[in-house]
Amino acid sequence: MLTCLKGGHVVDPVAGLDGPADLWVEDGRVVEAPDGPRPDRIIDCAGLVVMAGAIDIHSHIASGHVNTARLLLPEFHKAFQARPGATKLSQIGWTAEETGLRYAEMGFTLVVEPAMAPSSALHSHLELADIPIIDKAALVVLGNDDVLLSLMRAGESPQAIEDYVAWTVGSARALGVKTINAGGSAAFKDNVRAFSIDDEVPDYGVTSRAIVKTLQSAVTGLKIPHPLHVHCNNLGIAGSADSAAATIQSAEGLPLHLAHLQFYGYGAGGKRGFSSEGQRLAELVNARPEITVDIGQVMFGPTVTISSDELRQFAGRTAGSPGKYVIMDGEANGGGVVPIDYKETSYYSALQWAIGLELFLLIKDPWRVFFTTDHPNGAPFTAYPELFALLMDRDVRARWLEMLPDAAVKATCLTELDREYTLAEIAIMTRAAPARLLGLPDRGHLSPGAVADIAVYRPGEDKAQMFASAAWLLKDGEVVVENGAVTRRRFGKALALKAETDAAMGRRMERYMQDRYGLPAHWFAVPQDALGRETPFGWVDMR
């Protein structure tokens, strides 16, 4: 079917468009304007803003930890009947079904689960397959696993480590590689309770820095488009900025992505021993073009932290609100689920909120800073519309600042920042840049040949309202949302790399799995026919 989106204000930084234009769609792709044929459908976009579908590179939407959070906090989500609308978190969307619907209603078409354990990759993909409408992808977690640490301890070649990383990426059907407090969970199992970048993992004799550098080299050598995705040491504690700074400096010119940087924006200054290092980290990022970051913005209200950083979740377990938690130990990364309530009356919560905005506003290049709340750790993704408003309207920020404790406001430079993100910058940060970072050349823009993932919004002074409810959303050229409501329920694909695996490493991993678990290696792989979809995967080329 030939569709014309007519007369909208197209914002596409890749194509250099920021003004009125018609878009043509056929067979799931954007096409050149045809000479003769009349469109089968015209969507009148006059007075509306047209962008590529939005992409979220870091959102915990499918994993064992997500399901553990559902079990721990049944009061946070729907059971057999709808919760009253005024109930806190009634709109958080904990089910796989609601996750897809809520993202689509906001104009998102691709979301990346950033923490898939290799040993439970099939579980993650089965849950991703249940999320409707949007495309999905996952990053596989390495850096606390016995195989990698043993290879490093034995001094094996960079080629052997690349072969192992490629085997893991291929088996798990991943789009990239993440490391979480590299070595920290392995050290935790030996009763270590504090772990920094130059500390050694007991029994293995390798440092966190060495693990990050080894994985960074392997990801770069394999030409995996997305840089190594790093959850640094010492997340969330006063002084964590030092860990982030050390990790940034360790990049040494090779690409590196730092996750949820806001949780590392903390100093230990002031009478409370908790201060902002947002300016310092922003300056470091600005000076290092090989570094990209996502923010992990805190927004006020109750949510839950879920993380494979077993060491840090264990340390923070007693601060849970409500007072319950789950800490899990296991092969490679364990993890934890700890509920939290960010209160605008709290100095600490208010400063976390302000630090995230400092980073957004002080990092100059929108191609290198990404829009996330680290769902659900900083806030549920349903808070995104309010965050768009905070970035695009300094008057909105001023009103929020008036509600915060004076001490927190004075501890930041936020009142001095008058930057307002433009629509073009929003399109870069949430569309064009994520597509480039993930190695997806046919997404994030609206040039002919692009996947016809298209979001249409009603502009207005209230940016939260604008981005909360897409006027139209096309997914692969099909209209799936009209006037902020899903009108067609369909299923997207899981995007995964075409990873070439070494046969010798495959045999080696077969022996390892049999010796360690008494199970064949294919039990840990993700077979295509297990997901109940005719074409469950969309394959992505290496660079």
DSSP 54-79: EEES----SSHHHHHHHHH-GGGS--
514-to-425, 517, 521 alpha-carbon distances in Å: 51, 6, 7
- Report the alpha-carbon angle 498-140-516, nearest 5: 105
Tell me whether residue 467 is in a domain: no
CA atoms of 420 and 50, how far apart (whole Å): 20
Q: How far apart, in whole angstroms, are the C-alpha atoms of residue 526 and residue 504?
A: 20
Q: What is the pLDDT of residue 531?
A: 86
Nearest CA-CA partner of 135 in 60, 31, 54, 27: 54
What's the CA gap between 357 and 148, in Å, rounded? 37
The pLDDT, as a whole number, for residue 89 is: 44
CA angle 65, 67, 69 (to 5 degrees): 70
- What is the predicted pLDDT for the residue at 497? 98
Predicted pLDDT of residue 139 = 98
The per-residue pLDDT for 36 is: 82
Determine the length of the chain. Answer: 543
Per-residue model confidence (pLDDT) at position 185: 95
pTM, rounded to two decimals: 0.96
Read off the CATH number of the domain in which 412 is found: 3.20.20.140
Assigned domain for 521 exists: no
Q: How far apart are CA 539 and CA 266, in angstroms?
A: 39
384 sits in which H/E element: helix 384-392
In a domain, 463, yes or no: no
Whether residue 225 lies inside any domain: the answer is: yes
At residue 183, the pLDDT reads 97
Question: Residue 249: its pLDDT value, please?
Answer: 97
Angle between helices 278-287 and 347-362 (to 10 degrees): 20
Residue 291 in domain: yes
Question: What is the domain range of residue 72?
Answer: 54-445
C-alpha radius of gyration, the chain, whole number: 23
CA 179 to chain centre: 13
Alpha-helix runs per DSSP H in 403-530: 406-410, 423-427, 433-438, 463-468, 503-517
Q: Are 319 and 336 in contact (CB under 8 A)?
A: no
Examine residue 498 and state whether it is found in any structural domain, yes or no.
Answer: no
pLDDT at 533: 86
324 inside domain: yes
- Kindly provide the residue ranges of all beta strands, DSSP E only, lying in 425-504, ordered along the sequence: 454-457, 472-475, 478-482, 485-486, 494-497
Range list of H helices, 91-224: 96-105, 121-129, 146-153, 158-172, 184-188, 208-221
* β partners of residue 338: 305
Prior bond to 376 cis, omega within 30?
yes
Q: Answer positive or negative: Cα dihedral of 282, 267, 231, 102.
A: negative
Kindly state whether residue 255 falls inside one of the protein's structural domains: yes
Question: CA distances (Å), 388 to each of 116, 284, 291, 381, in order?
Answer: 28, 24, 23, 12
How distant, in Å, are the alpha carbons of 195, 340, 473 from that of 191?
Answer: 11, 25, 50
Q: How many H-runs (helices) and E-runs (strands) does the chain carry?
A: 18, 24
Beta bridge partners of 291: 256
In the predicted model, residues of the chain with pLDDT beneath 70 are: 77-94
CB-CB contact of 113 with 128 (8 Å): yes
Residues in a beta bridge with 20:
9
Phi and psi, residue 8, nearest 5°: -80, 165
> In the chain, how many domains are there?
1
